[in-house]
Amino acid sequence: MRKILGIVLLLLVAVAIWSDFEHHDGKAATLSVNRASSGPENNGPSNPGEKNSEDATWHYLTTSDSLTDQPIKGALIFSTNKANFTWPYDGGSNLSLAFRRRGGHTDAMIVISKGQFMCGIDGCALGFRFDDGPVESIRAVPSGAGKSDVVFVQNALPLLRRLQRVHHLRIAATFYDNGRSTFDFDTDGLDIHQLD
């Protein structure tokens, strides 16, 4: 039963992410999902030891543009920890990182399951830490659909290539009424060829 609920949750998140990809570039897509084989800082309390091991692997998505029938492929991973924000976003929030490739172009999107990014129309800086390296500032822009729970990372292809060489990623972002939180990702096993 727990596994079925996990799969249903994955499908719901994947549909939400892909619908935002649709709004980002104005093209519709249909969705099918293939699963890979497989301490937050904020103003509210946290459970840094709480892991989401079932969702901590890469998930690969295959879609097609409903207008052109052009193939669209994606990769998706969820954070291994949660941030506990204040009401109305309490109950634990995950971060997900998704890549989409279509027609030789790659997009990267970051989604918070419950919460709002503090990212203005001019964009925002997110903190990225690859393995034990220094924290790097990477630019993101808000969704073209006006959603505040998603941002698009600029220069997605270099980020995707870099994730092939690292084992761990931390992403820090600032959230409305909850301050800055850090999310951990176990990035081992990324198969970039799934996006070809």
Residue 157 backbone phi and psi in degrees, to 5: -65, -45
What residues make up the domain containing 111? 2-195
**Average pLDDT over all residues of the chain:** 80
In order, the DSSP letters of 31-98 are EEEEE------SSS-B-TT---GGGSS-EEEEEEETTT--EEEEEEEE-SS-B-PPTTS-S-B-EEEE
| pLDDT, tens digit (0-9, with 9 covering 90-100), for 19-29 | 444 444 433 33
Q: How many residues does the chain have?
A: 196
Cβ neighbour number for residue 81 with a 10 Å cutoff: 24
Structure tokens at 57: 């692997």
The residue that leads in pLDDT, 132 or 39, is 132
189-to-30, 38, 62, 194 alpha-carbon distances in Å: 26, 7, 18, 11
Which pTM was predicted?
Answer: 0.76
pLDDT at position 98 over 70: yes
Section 147-162 average pLDDT: 95
- Total tally of structural domains belonging to the chain: 1
